[in-house]
Amino acid sequence: MKLIKTKDGEEMSAKAFHVIKDIVKSNPYAVLGLATGTTPLGLYRCIIEDYKENGTSYQHIRTVNLDEYQGLPKSHPQSYAYFMRENLFRYLDIEESNTYIENGTAQNEAEECARYNKLLSEMPRDIQLLGLGRNGHIAFNEPFTPFGSKTHVVDLTENTIKDNARLFDDISEVPRKAFTMGIKQIMHAKQILILASGVNKADAVYKTVCGEVTEEVPASVLQLHPNCILIADSEAASKL
């Protein structure tokens, strides 16, 4: 794993942007695996600014997202589909039909997981962007998720529900379940870019980089990926 330490979140986002821009420039048909959460917001702002200033085109780019809350329709302001539209897609020339995410309102969980698995196998990702949960989770793969897992529905842990409650009016509104891409599929991306910012990620960053590779810390699996970059700001990297 290649580690890049930055002074703050802004520099983390700028460095991550250069990684993404290189891919989009060298292959206008690239497939980008994208993530939600607070961490990638600065990167998404850089992408939007660059699009406005330099006209970098996303017309043929396809995107595939990591996860989606179960039960939330795409129009729900807390759904990840809505997040992606409002924080990135609506500002770019990307085709909505080229942006993929699990359907949170799918009635048949198994069918929806199978649909997403098929889609992922047909669309090899040039890069997969990741944030990091405080307990080392990636996407919604909580501790002890098997490294061999594919798309599945998870029961979110109390900690993850609490962490994500800040984006809802009340903790009771946070869905208890989510669809998530599996760890095996995250590892299938040609390149992985994981970002971490803030002191509350310091433990997870330490375990991801220096800890044992164990299902107890899902992100530790990234040590086994041949082309993974972790960009961490000084607070997130403070225990390294």
Question: Which chain residues interact with ligand GLP by CB under 6 A?
Answer: 35-39, 66-67, 131-133, 139-140, 160, 164
Find, among 154, 139, 121, 123, the residue nearest to 61 by Cα: 123
Q: Which of 68, 102, 126, 135 is catalytic?
A: 135
135 catalytic? Reply is: yes
If you search the block for the tokens 């994500």, which residue do you land on? 164
Pure H helices in the chain: 9-26, 41-54, 80-87, 109-122, 158-164, 183-188, 202-210
Cα–Cα nearest to 43, from 83, 14, 84: 14
Annotation marks residue 67 as catalytic: yes
Active-site option among 65, 67, 152, 225: 67
Least separation, in Å, of the C-beta of 35 and ligand GLP? 5
Q: Residue 117 corresponds to which tokens in the numbers above?
A: 């698995």
> 70 or 160: whose CB is closer to ligand GLP?
160
- Considering the candidates 142, 163, 233, 235, report the single residue annotated as catalytic: 142
**Residue 207, φ and ψ in degrees, nearest 5:** -65, -35
Q: Which residue is nearest to ligand GLP (CB)?
A: 131
Residue 23 vs 154, nearer CB to ligand GLP: 154
Rounded least distance, CB 69 to ligand GLP, Å = 9
164 Cβ contact partners less than 8 Å away, ≥ 6 residues apart: 156, 174
What is the spatial distance between Cα 134 and Cα 137, in angstroms, rounded to a whole number?
Answer: 7
21 or 134: whose CB is closer to ligand GLP? 134
Residue 222: which of 198, 184, 187 has the closest Cα?
187
Is 37 or 175 the residue whose CB approaches ligand GLP more closely?
Answer: 37
Report in angstroms how near the CB of residue 220 gets to ligand GLP at its nearest: 15
Instruction: Please tell me which residue in 65, 102, 137, 141 is annotated as part of the active site.
Output: 137
Smallest separation, CB 101 to ligand GLP (Å): 12
Catalytically active residues, by annotation: 67, 135, 137, 142
